[in-house]
């Protein structure tokens, strides 16, 4: 009887474990493409650096830059020949197109990117975003980064520091 109870507990734990794993799938549909990406401060004239540094909290008037690498299942980069396009969808539904290209002088890395200047009247708070990649056949694969409010793209109150 004791082994039957232990077996039932183990089975329930295994089922719960698999259910939790399903909740952690970050691309829809799973397995078609793989995403790597982050958000960094984008350089704007008259603003104080540092730029191209990781952060998730931005003030109105600052620019957010997305750096997105999309990979095929075989590990090769899904560039602008492999994909029709990539766009970022903000948590408010606004969609921003990305472009594929080289970065650095001379270019040392190639990926999808875009930047967005936060409007002066934009509401503060956690915004979040998703990335949509449109494949050659028109199907779309969507990736969403971490969804905890404190780790998502966030607009915070405050004035921008003046460039010195």
Which CATH number characterizes residue 70's domain? 2.60.40.1930
Please report whether residue 102 resides in a domain. yes
Q: Is position 93 within any domain?
A: yes
List, for residues 90-105, the tens digit of each pLDDT value.
999 999 999 999 998 8
Q: Determine how many CB atoms are found less than 10 A away from the CB of residue 113.
A: 20
In a domain? residue 6: no
Q: Which residues of the chain have pLDDT under 50?
A: 1-23
22 in any annotated domain: no
Give DSSP secondary structure letters for 3-58: HHHHHHHHHHHHHHHHHHHHHT--EESTTS-EEEEEEEEEP-TTB----S-B-SEE
Tell me, what's the pLDDT at 92? Answer: 96
Domain span at residue 33 reads 29-156
> What's the structural domain count of the chain?
1
The reported pLDDT for the residue numbered 113 is 97
Would you say residue 60 lies in a domain? yes
- Quote the pLDDT of residue 10: 39
81 within a domain of the structure (yes/no)? yes
**Residue 160: what pLDDT?**
78
Write down the pLDDT at residue 162. 67
pLDDT of residue 4: 43
- Structural domain contains residue 125: yes
In a domain, residue 20? The reply is no
The pTM (predicted TM-score) of the whole model is 0.80
- What is Dmax (Cα atoms) for the chain? 76
């Amino acid at each position: 009887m004791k082994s039957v109870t232990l077996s039932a507990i183990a089975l329930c734990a295994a089922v719960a474990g698999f259910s939790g794993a399903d909740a952690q799938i970050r691309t829809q549909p799973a397995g078609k493409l793989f995403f790597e990406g982050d958000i960094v401060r984008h350089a704007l004239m008259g603003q104080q650096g540092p730029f191209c540094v990781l952060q998730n909290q931005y003030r109105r008037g600052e620019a957010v830059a997305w750096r997105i690498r999309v990979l095929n299942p075989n590990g090769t980069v899904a560039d602008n020949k492999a994909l029709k396009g990539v766009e970022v969808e903000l948590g408010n539904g606004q969609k921003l197109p990305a472009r594929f290209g080289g970065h650095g002088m001379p270019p040392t890395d190639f990926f999808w990117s875009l930047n967005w200047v936060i409007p002066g009247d934009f509401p503060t708070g956690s915004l979040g975003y998703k990335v949509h990649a449109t494949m050659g056949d028109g199907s779309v694969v969507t990736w969403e980064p971490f969804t905890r409010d404190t780790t998502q793209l966030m607009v915070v109150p405050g004035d921008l520091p003046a460039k010195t």
